[in-house]
Chain A
Amino acid sequence: MPAVSKGDGMRGLAVFISDIRNCKSKEAEIKRINKELANIRSKFKGDKALDGYSKKKYVCKLLFIFLLGHDIDFGHMEAVNLLSSNRYTEKQIGYLFISVLVNSNSELIRLINNAIKNDLASRNPTFMGLALHCIANVGSREMAEAFAGEIPKILVAGDTMDSVKQSAALCLLRLYRTSPDFVPMGDWTSRVVHLLNDQHLGVVTAATSLITTLAQKNPEEFKTSVSLAVSRLSRIVTSASTDLQDYTYYFVPAPWLSVKLLRLLQCYPPPEDAAVRGRLTECLETILNKAQEPPKSKKVQHSNAKNAVLFEAISLIIHHDSEPNLLVRACNQLGQFLQHRETNLRYLALESMCTLASSEFSHEAVKTHIETVINALKTERDVSVRQRAVDLLYAMCDRSNAQQIVAEMLNYLETADYSIREEIVLKVAILAEKYAVDYTWYVDTILNLIRIAGDYVSEEVWYRVIQIVINRDDVQGYAAKTVFEALQAPACHENLVKVGGYILGEFGNLIAGDPRSSPLIQFNLLHSKFHLCSVPTRALLLSTYIKFVNLFPEIKTTIQDVLRSDSQLKNADVELQQRAVEYLRLSTIASTDILATVLEEMPPFPERESSILAKLKKKKGPGTVTDLEEIKKERNSDVNGGTESTPVNASTVALPDSPLQGSLAELVIGPRPRPSRLNSSHLAIHNLQTGIPPLFKGFFTSKSTPSPSADLLGLGAAPLTSSAPPPSTTGSLLVDVFSDSASVVAPLAPGSEDNFARFVCKNNGVLFENQLLQIGLKSEFRQNLGRMFIFYGNKTSTQFLNFTPTLICSDELQSSLNLQTKPVDPTVDGGAQVQQVVNIECISDFMEAPILNIQFRYGGTFQNISVKLPITLNKFFQPTEMASQDFFQRWKQLSNPQQEMQNIFKAKHPMDTEITKAKIIGFGSALLEEVDPNPANFVGAGIIHTKTTQIGCLLRLEPNLQAQMYRLTLRTSKETVSQRLCELLSEQF
């Protein structure tokens, strides 16, 4: 039965809790809970008014049930009632319930805010405290909007109690985190900074957290906090252990505050004022000195608190990265911890040293600990500690110790935990490449990686080894020999087969002179693995075979026999079958010259960031894997007022945003040998977009949807050039051999997205224009129907031939949008304009837009253009006028979380009221004047008509001029409609 129940016992609650605890099974528990819920519901609904105590008890029971993990969908109103009780405990339970269970869309928000407002104004510190705790716990935007202006006043008012100040500071901090736009900076900020001097250490502690967070975003505003923080810190570290009374924790003076002050100082570069700087250095030295003193207590709390301050001081030293003396001392201190008996300290030391390794002042000092770290890798019993050791080895690696570190990591990989293998593989691959003096070592290392942990070697790793081998002719012979030898093993990893197949296909001839690796032996060796491999590997091997046909004409018939066999020609897999058919045909009909050209050795890959590095970065987040230079740049830019304004990371420029793009492109064009030379004249094939010769078709599995294959093409043709290279050669070889034209949709024309957005709020205008062609639009919509006139203007004096515009809808879109049109005349005379009519029917709501693809011949070249056609959901809006009362009634009716969509965004255009109004009307809804109590806000209403349903939509746009932001809220009866409309309209301001 219940243990001590302090304060006000709620007997009913205690009985209920013991009942639950006595339940023998989950079912019994649920049954008991349902019984209780029914009981509470009937009490709440009953005619008899409940007294405060009962209400409190039931609300508390509901809370308990919720915390057990069950859903609670009532009781909110009763909890809100408790807020206005005069009895402290009732109020307190009410607030607790709201803090835990409040739903930000709840209609109760206004009532809750009212209760909070009353308590804040009550001047009763305990009530104020409760109200502030509630705001800090909920932290919603609604609360920010309501109270962010008030709380700074409470915080800096002279007569506010200390405890209220503390709550107000942290409450404001929470609101600033969720809704910075509602917390305006003002003259209160300077007074907050002065709280660092407050007599009450609790106030200083809370204020320091607030200032740190604010200073990160507004460094100038809080600059004066630096000197105040330094002097406060100085007073703390020099105080005797008893000076601070209850703020001393196990003989450590104010450890929490010290840590926070040191954190605050990390928002800024080293102080400019020499006196402040000197004082800070003294503080840091004192902290480092104290670490060497004998402990004042054997308790772990003493050492933890002391070391917490020490580690934070070291972080600051590393952050400043300007005092070699301190950096080296920090490194030595961490070195001691590396061998400490406390696992926690070893872990933290490894972690901190990682950042020290990137400072030029301490890199060498860190390196002296290499043996200890390697030992940690071997002996630590906790995988999270070993992980830190791997990170540190990686960070301390340079040319001088790379061979040792890579060897140790490979060694460890044999027994490493599965959870960290992939990361170690990536790290080894990166180090091996980065510090390879001798590329034979690099090749050996990667092959070892595949041998030891083949399953964890991702595509990026083996793509990379192939790129390097292809780009460096000094290593090609060695690579061929090594993979050939590795393939001799009876069981080898499929990744090895891939690398082996690719390399031998390119460079097998370099070892074919040796009778032990004659062409036939190479072929038989590879083919012996063929049947054990997956489809992609087999496809790659088939490409190797066709390359062999060119390299080794003497085994051509053997290869043709293999290609001709039923298991290839009639393979159930389309890709394999197609390759076999095409390669067999190619080897039969093409002359030796053509074969030699088509199957020539791959040209070097353009130099770019290793895709492996990109992958590791993605895995670990930036900073942890970049090298010394980059880390320094990044850190400098973090420092407010630091020197570098934007760290330009050359490597990220090469691969714009996703490492996936690079690897995806490589998947297609990279390691898979293509029967074509990728040289400049052939690049022209793609860039002229003359369509894809049939041979290629099988490679880029052709789909009629535009994006996936089209993107690959775009990237594949020119991974590094974003603009189209000059169309130098027109009559290129492959076009000659295999006639032309096969329709592949071009990627979206540049600027298409912007143009598309412009049409969301209007119906007529120019959709696309280049030197040759102009596309104009005129459209009208009524209910769920619409008609669009598309005008194609030939801007040149030459005829367009084979002019074919096509509308493309994805399968999903097709089921919700019905588009009908007639083909246009395939010839467009110079200077002429043709018109195409599209009839539109909206069947159900939809997200995407159809693509308009236009292909034609101009002069000798094939043109292929794709643009997004601006048929958007809002076109089927019908405006609805309504009065304020109706509006808000409907607004409330649509209060399910799924029905509402909200977006807060920065203004992209000047915030002009008239333009905004015009846009909302253009968007299709009615603009309702004098509905919103705030005249600066815009509200709109309308109905979206689709064939199947009509969807009522309400919208509200709240501009915040000061922050140059908007908040847009959409409420409709259908989730997807809210989402789409919100998306579309958000782009307009």
Chain B
Amino acid sequence: MQFMLLFSRQGKLRLQKWYVPLSDKEKKKITRELVQTVLARKPKMCSFLEWRDLKIVYKRYASLYFCCAIEDQDNELITLEIIHRYVELLDKYFGSVCELDIIFNFEKAYFILDEFLLGGEVQETSKKNVLKAIEQADLLQE
């Protein structure tokens, strides 16, 4: 996976994770273009599209779009389930997650993502193990 973006229906970026080195300028340009492209698509359309030389896999959950860019040989369907598993993790951690949770606790959203995906690859698919790691960290805090 090359990057993952979370953005709202209004096009506000809520989370960005880049697994390839790009300049800030390029990142902004890519984000702008992609948000526009994905928001323009209709609900029943397919979740995959070709974009530049990448494949985009996206899915909408309530007011948030989750959007991943993968390479040509990568598997679209499993990427769709990567998104779903991440949503499940957020949901479990925050207890029925909503956009506000991600806005106000953005750092947690990043920490959870890092436990789940690292360097653009799945690190741990077990929901229990990921949440255990995060909760242990929460316990360590004070």
Q: Once the chains are docked, how many angstroms separate the CA of A133 from the CA of B110?
A: 11
Q: Is the CB of B21 within 8 A of A178?
A: yes
Q: Once the chains are docked, how many angstroms separate the CA of A517 from the CA of B108?
A: 79
Q: Is the CB of B107 within 8 A of A60?
A: yes
Which A270-316 residues have C-beta < 8 A from chain B? 301, 304-305, 307-309, 311-312, 315
A167 within 8 A of B: yes
**With known contacts A167-B118, A205-B122, A301–B81 Cβ distance under 8 A:** yes
- From B21, B50, B118, A140 is in contact (CB under 8 Å) with B21
User: Total interface residues on A, using CB and 8 Å?
Assistant: 78
A19 to chain B, nearest CB (A): 12
A202 within 8 A of B: yes
**With known contacts A4-B95, A136-B118, A344-B77, A93–B50 Cβ distance under 8 A:** no
> Which residue of chain B lies nearest to A20 when distances are taken between CB atoms in the complex?
B103
Q: Is the CB of A263 within 8 A of B73?
A: yes
Q: Once the chains are docked, how many angstroms separate the CA of A166 from the CA of B15?
A: 24
- Proximity bits, B7-29, A CB within 8 Å = 1, else 0: 00000010110010100100010
B38 to chain A, nearest CB (A): 12
Q: Is the CB of A209 within 8 A of B122?
A: yes
- Proximity bits, B73-108, A CB within 8 Å = 1, else 0: 101111011101100000001110010110111111
**A contact face: mostly helix, strand, loop, or mixed:** helix
Q: Is the CB of A126 within 8 A of B81?
A: no
Q: Is the CB of B121 within 8 A of A173?
A: yes
A41 within 8 A of B: no
Q: Once the chains are docked, how many angstroms separate the CA of A104 from the CA of B24?
A: 12
Which A672-715 residues have C-beta < 8 A from chain B? none
**With known contacts A3-B98, A93-B107, A311-B77, A69–B28 Cβ distance under 8 A:** yes
Q: Is the CB of B85 within 8 A of A249?
A: yes
A621 within 8 A of B: yes
A226 within 8 A of B: no
- Proximity bits, A1-44, B CB within 8 Å = 1, else 0: 01111111000001001000100000000000000000000000
User: Total interface residues on B, using CB and 8 Å?
Assistant: 60
Q: Once the chains are docked, how many angstroms separate the CA of A137 from the CA of B19?
A: 7
Report which residue of B120, B123, B142 has the largest number of chain A beta carbons within 10 angstroms of its beta carbon.
B123
A116 within 8 A of B: no
Q: Is the CB of B21 within 8 A of A256?
A: no
- Proximity bits, A369-389, B CB within 8 Å = 1, else 0: 000000000000110110100
- B19 proximity list for chain A (CB < 8 A): 174
- B103 proximity list for chain A (CB < 8 A): 17, 21
A97 to chain B, nearest CB (A): 9
Q: Is the CB of A5 within 8 A of B77?
A: no
Q: Once the chains are docked, how many angstroms separate the CA of A105 from the CA of B46?
A: 41
B8 to chain A, nearest CB (A): 12
- A246 proximity list for chain B (CB < 8 A): 126-129
Q: Once the chains are docked, how many angstroms separate the CA of A4 from the CA of B90?
A: 13
B137 within 8 A of A: yes
> Which residue of chain A lies nearest to B104 when distances are taken between CB atoms in the complex?
A2
Q: Is the CB of B129 within 8 A of A163?
A: yes
- From B95, B111, B119, B125, A247 is in contact (CB under 8 Å) with B125
> Which residue of chain B lies nearest to A14 when distances are taken between CB atoms in the complex?
B104
B136 within 8 A of A: yes
- From A104, A133, A315, B118 is in contact (CB under 8 Å) with A133
Which B14-73 residues have C-beta < 8 A from chain A? 15-16, 19, 21, 24, 28, 42, 44-50, 53, 73
Q: A8-B142, A67-B13, A301-B81 are in contact. List 19 more A-B contacts (CB 8 A).
A: A6-B93, A126-B140, A129-B133, A136-B118, A137-B114, A167-B118, A170-B119, A170-B123, A202-B126, A206-B118, A246-B127, A247-B125, A260-B122, A304-B78, A304-B84, A305-B77, A312-B75, A344-B76, A344-B77
